[in-house]
Chains A and B, each alone.
Chain A
Amino acid sequence: MEIEKGIERLNDQQVEEFVQKNIILTSLDAVFNWARGRSLWPLSSGLACCAIEMMATGASRFDMARFGYEVFRPSPRQADVVIVAGTLTWKMAPAMKRVYEQMAEPKWVIAMGACACTGGPFNESYAVVPGVDKILPVDVYIPGCPPRPEALLDGMLKLKEKIQDPSKARVKHG
């Protein structure tokens, strides 16, 4: 009853202010994306040396948990983002693709390191996929051999931006 009385005493302008301070109008998508971008669960998918940097990023010194990204999942069913950390060989490619397909939507892919971006030092090899974008739709590319943990964190934050505002990064998936 107290509150009702209070509202009765507000004039129009005060009511507007009151509403603006206490009610947020948004689309459901925007809320979900806001949450998704802040709590990405990566799949633990280390393929080569880059995986060591990925582990370092998760450990205490660089502390991925600051951003809400520390929950590395061993199962694709529980993961939002796959960080392809390392060299993808043609032998491994069907397994990687399958794991990606097992992830629930929405899902994202980060290509970590020169190998995942382009094949890196093994670009011309008979055994190595020259860039994971040949088999998966990549959202963020992180160059380096290997990229430092800061670079991976930066990549994850770029992905966060992209998730929250998809218009920010319009890339053609191929």
Chain B
Amino acid sequence: MVKFLLDEFEPAQLSNLLGQEVAIAGEGVSRALIVTPEQLIATMEALVTKLGFDYLGDLTSVDRGAEGLEVVYHLYSLTNQREIRVKAKVDAETATVPTVTTIWPGADWFEREVYDLMGISFAGHPNMTRLLLPEDFEGHPLRKSYKLQKRV
């Protein structure tokens, strides 16, 4: 049975521990720590050093339409056996968040996939190119604004 760290901490307690004003939103399995792109790296570093979240399980993204984009990080602590979900909110125009490859090198291809399909750039990424689609592909198909078009 997976234990969620957010079930065990009050928001104020967590903000204190991480040294950041963070919010918590969502219910059950979608309960997540909400951060801004500016807070992201400091929060992640605190999660690694203070709470032992040494494993990045998945990195994905959601297009919430008018509410902008979300980059979702699924973290796991192999030492404490706890799980936490972190969401970085970013608006569709800027669509840039800092890379976490500096913390977990395994984020490399996850971030390229998100860039490829959702069009979110990761500042500081060593190789910010398409991963799954052909290089000459235009647009980012998982965006709600993407229009399907015939290629032939």
Interface residues of A (CB under 8 A from B): 90-91, 93-94, 124, 126-127, 129-130, 134
Interface residues of B (CB under 8 A from A): 132-134, 137, 141, 146, 148-149, 151-152
Known: A90-B133, A90-B134, A91-B133. A130 touches B152 (CB 8 A): yes
* Bound CA span A134–B151, Å: 10
State the majority secondary structure of interface residues on B.
Answer: loop
- Are A126's CB and B152's CB within 8 A? no
- Are A91's CB and B152's CB within 8 A? no
- Are B134's CB and A91's CB within 8 A? yes
Q: List chain A residues, Cβ under 8 A from B152.
A: 129-130, 134
* Bound CA span A126–B134, Å: 11
- Are B133's CB and A127's CB within 8 A? yes
Min CB distance B41 to A, Å, is: 32
- Are B132's CB and A91's CB within 8 A? yes
Q: List chain B residues, Cβ under 8 A from A134.
A: 152
Question: Which 5 A/B pairs are nearest by Cβ-Cβ distance?
Answer: A126-B141, A90-B134, A91-B134, A134-B152, A124-B148
Min CB distance B82 to A, Å, is: 36
Min CB distance B147 to A, Å, is: 10
Q: List chain B residues, Cβ under 8 A from A130.
A: 152
* Bound CA span A12–B133, Å: 74
Q: List chain A residues, Cβ under 8 A from B137.
A: 90, 126
Q: Closest chain B residue to A91 by CB distance? A: B134
* Bound CA span A130–B137, Å: 16
Q: Closest chain A residue to B149 by CB distance? A: A126
Q: List chain B residues, Cβ under 8 A from A129.
A: 152
* Bound CA span A129–B146, Å: 18
Q: List chain A residues, Cβ under 8 A from B151.
A: 90, 126
* Bound CA span A91–B131, Å: 10
* Bound CA span A93–B152, Å: 13
Min CB distance B76 to A, Å, is: 30
Q: List chain B residues, Cβ under 8 A from A126.
A: 133, 137, 141, 146, 148-149, 151
Name 16 interchain pairs, CB-CB below 8 A, sorted by A. Answer: A90-B133, A90-B134, A90-B137, A90-B151, A91-B133, A91-B134, A93-B134, A126-B133, A126-B137, A126-B148, A126-B149, A126-B151, A127-B133, A127-B141, A129-B152, A134-B152
* Bound CA span A91–B137, Å: 9
* Bound CA span A127–B140, Å: 11
* Bound CA span A134–B141, Å: 22
Residue from B137, B141, B148, B151 having most chain A Cβ neighbours under 10 A: B151
Q: List chain A residues, Cβ under 8 A from B149.
A: 126
* Bound CA span A129–B152, Å: 8
Q: List chain A residues, Cβ under 8 A from B133.
A: 90-91, 126-127
Q: List chain B residues, Cβ under 8 A from A127.
A: 132-133, 141
Q: List chain B residues, Cβ under 8 A from A93.
A: 134
Min CB distance A23 to B, Å, is: 52
Q: Closest chain B residue to A125 by CB distance? A: B148
* Bound CA span A25–B133, Å: 55
